Structure 1
Amino acid sequence: MTPDTQSPDAIDRTEDSSRCVSETILDATCGGRSIWLDENKNREDTLYIDRREEPAGFVDEAVADPPNNPNYEVSPDEVQDYRDLPYPDRTFNLVVFDPPHIIRGDGMKTLTGVMTKKYGALKAETWQSDLRQGFLELFRVLKFGGTLVFKFSDESVDFRTVVDLAPQPPLFGTTVRGGGSSVETRWFVFHKDCSVNTDTEQGGSS
């Protein structure tokens, strides 16, 4: 688990803010890389990052009769906070953003259920500012003309409230609710055009 001195709910700004990387795709919240097809879980052109690192089997600590998820692990290439990344402006062609969708009072500090152990949790007091800052930071490291793919489930908050936190609206995404479940997962695709100003990019939107 991430040490208390580097709590996932607190941004550490000690990293070099202009460290170049060779990868052109960023998965900013890779977790167990569950959204990736098996053949793409270790792409050379993709940088898989997460706010924590966990060994295989850690989820089973949350269930009564393990093993339930014996091989699930969080093994990012780098431990980084999507709200404050050490990469230069306009680094990646494609960014994947699949943040936690469950809101808890203490956020990432106490993860007990299977879903929160696997995917983490947003902090009740700061989730809107955290996601807003996450969108801004990911748009900052996204090249003009690049694509951001966003995934979210409406267990704790509705999609529109979350999507409105982004610096610009999505081009397209899931618009029709599926049947049979009170909780739904939707995907949204954003395109960064030259009008986007994240207020952190050097030179603004130029």
Structure 2
Amino acid sequence: MSKRVLDACCGGKMFYFDKDNPDVEFCDIREVDNLEYYPGRFLNVKPNTVSDFTNLPFEDGSFKVVVFDPPHLIHAGDKSWSRLKYGRLEEDWEDTLRDGFNECMRVLDDDGLMIFKWSEIQIPLRDILKIFQAEPLLGEKRGRNKNTHWLIFMKPASVQEVQSEKP
């Protein structure tokens, strides 16, 4: 693959300066075309690849950077604008997030970085880090209430060793 960056669950690509950046492989489990979720506000989800972030269709070590910004909500109505815009985690959210984190690490290059974004609106970051069983390299809190976290992870050496031993 010629692209160096993977966004595993891009949604509406809200934090991108260039929403069509040719160096980014945009993935999401859904496609949404010009959905009016609020009067005068429209949602577009246009991934390059439609896929589930727990089962990415890429080879091991394919990307230098992986962006992992999964849904943060477990309580959102089926037709709520929050669910439409950001997605919702189901009852097995812990397994889903663990599997997604591991899958993002799988496709991350040995010397790559994973950028993880989490909003503590419903689930505290400390609970998420327990699920991942990984220490971030660095991070920062942002937002009005300092409840949005940006963290950077490196692929652990133990993961690199296991992947290099595969036949």
CA contact (8 A) 1:88 1:141 kept: yes
- Is 1:171 the equivalent of 2:140? no
Q: Aligned to 1:59, what secondary structure does the other structure show? A: strand
Structure 2 residue aligned with 1:28: 8
CA contact (8 A) 1:111 1:120 kept: no
Deviations 1:33-76 (A, max 9, x none): 00112xx211111100001001112424xxxxx22x13x21111
Q: Aligned to 1:85, what secondary structure does the other structure show? A: coil
Structure 2 residue aligned with 1:196: 159
Change (3 A) 1:99 1:198: farther
Change (3 A) 1:93 1:116: same
- Is 1:133 the equivalent of 2:99? yes
Letter aligned with residue 165 of structure 2: G
- Aligned partners of 1:28, 1:73: CA distance in 2, in Å? 16
CA contact (8 A) 1:167 1:196 kept: no
Structure 2 residue aligned with 1:51: 29
Q: How many matched pairs?
A: 167
- 1:194 to partner: Cα distance: 2.1
Normalised by the length of structure 1, the TM-score is: 0.73
Letter aligned with residue 113 of structure 1: S
- Aligned partners of 2:112, 2:95: CA distance in 1, in Å? 24
- Is 1:85 the equivalent of 2:63? no
Instruction: Output the aligned Cα RMSD.
Output: 2.4
- 1:150 to partner: Cα distance: 0.3
Letter aligned with residue 65 of structure 2: L
- Aligned partners of 1:45, 1:197: CA distance in 2, in Å? 24
Higher strand share: 2
Gaps of 5+ in 1: 1-20, 61-65
Structure 1 residue aligned with 2:116: 150
- Is 1:118 the equivalent of 2:85? yes
- Aligned partners of 1:51, 1:192: CA distance in 2, in Å? 24
Change (3 A) 1:174 1:29: same
Higher helix share: 2
CA contact (8 A) 2:110 2:160 kept: no
